[in-house]
Amino acid sequence: AAKAAGKGTYRFFAPDMHEQARVRQQIEEDMQRALERGEFHVAYQPVVHTVSGALTGVEALVRWTHPTRGAVSPAIFIPVAEEAGLIAEIGEWVLRTACMEAAKWPAPISVAVNISPIQFAHQALPSLVASALAYAGLPADRLELEITEGALLNETAKTRAAIDTLKGLGVKIALDDFGTGYSSLSYLKSIPFDKIKIDQSFIKGATLPGNNNAPIIKAIVGLAADLGMITTAEGVETDDQLALVRSLGCTLIQGYIYGRPLDPQSALERSRQSSAQAVGHRRER
């Protein structure tokens, strides 16, 4: 039975289809109560400039601590939330929480929020974003929305209008997990992204022998530059990977080598530290 998988795990890949459906049902029911009970929180992972190592922003990542199962990965519960019609509510909560948190950090440190394709398809997204910014008192240019190709699969005039409205507010738009979807290049042609996040699957093997990752990363960086977009290398963990993405010219780095996702207090301290350092540098000159 699923329970036999023990605390902290949802036995998601149960061989039995019926069992699988039951576990999913359970996650769904538990999630419905999770918001009211305050079981969600947001973690903030540092994003730094590749050359200087200075903190430029953080990515907001939702966390769920289940009362009996412990931490449940967003990779598991976000897809369930999307199918169960709960993602709009969870996503709005994350957006509002992240904006309020980011308003405490010194400028120009920004916050990036993941937006599900389902939220993106909803025509109220721009007004929701405007409301979250106004309530938090966060300038629009310090918010970035991360969208995946999934949000653009059925790119319509509506999607394009939503992006234009969001950009009109001053919000930045990043294309997340680049390279893992179907036909990324066609989106680059039509959508004015500010940033491309190179998926961690390209970084992972890049420094090992026998793969083509480095030339692919290099090509993405060059393409982005020609299109006036910056790049973030996701999932940088080792010194070798850091040296490689530096040499290939990625603008920004996000990965365990510079920090795991932090609780709000630690993120606040980190942002203040980095701001103090920046002031120090200016004084030295």
Closer CB to Mg ion, 30 or 45, in the complex = 45
The rounded distance, in Å, linking the Cα atoms of 82 and 63 is 16
Q: Which of 30, 92, 144, 146 binds Mg ion (CB under 5 A)?
A: 146
Token match 């982005």: residue?
Answer: 224
Tell which phi-psi region holds residue 281, choosing left (phi > 0), alpha (psi between -120 and 50) or beta.
Answer: alpha
Q: Please state, in angstroms and as integers, the Cα–Cα distance from residue 191 to each residue in 9, 35, 178, 218, 234, following that order.
A: 39, 34, 14, 21, 21
Segment lying near Mg ion (by CB under 5 A), choices 16-24, 99-107, 109-117, 128-136: 109-117
| Token pair recorded at residue 233 | 């290398």
Is residue 114 within the footprint of Mg ion (CB under 5 A)?
A: yes
Closer CB to Mg ion, 58 or 86, in the complex = 58
State the number of binding residues for Mg ion (CB under 5 A). Answer: 5
Q: Which residues in 212-227 are b (16+ Cβ under 10 Å) and which e?
A: ebbeebbebbeebeee
As measured in angstroms, the least distance from the Cβ of 238 to ligand C2E is 9
Closer CB to ligand C2E, 257 or 278, in the complex = 257
74 binds, among ligand C2E, Mg ion, none (CB under 5 to 8 A by kind): ligand C2E
| Token pair recorded at residue 216 | 């692919």
Is residue 144 within the footprint of Mg ion (CB under 5 A)?
A: no
Residues lying near ligand C2E in the complex (CB under 6 A) are found at 45, 61-62, 73-75, 78, 91, 94, 114, 116, 146, 176-177, 200, 235-237, 254-256, 261
255 binds, among ligand C2E, Mg ion, none (CB under 5 to 8 A by kind): ligand C2E
Is residue 149 within the footprint of Mg ion (CB under 5 A)?
A: no
Segment lying near Mg ion (by CB under 5 A), choices 97-105, 130-138, 232-240, 276-284: 232-240
As measured in angstroms, the least distance from the Cβ of 237 to ligand C2E is 4
Q: Which residues bind Mg ion (CB under 5 A)?
A: 114, 146, 176-177, 234
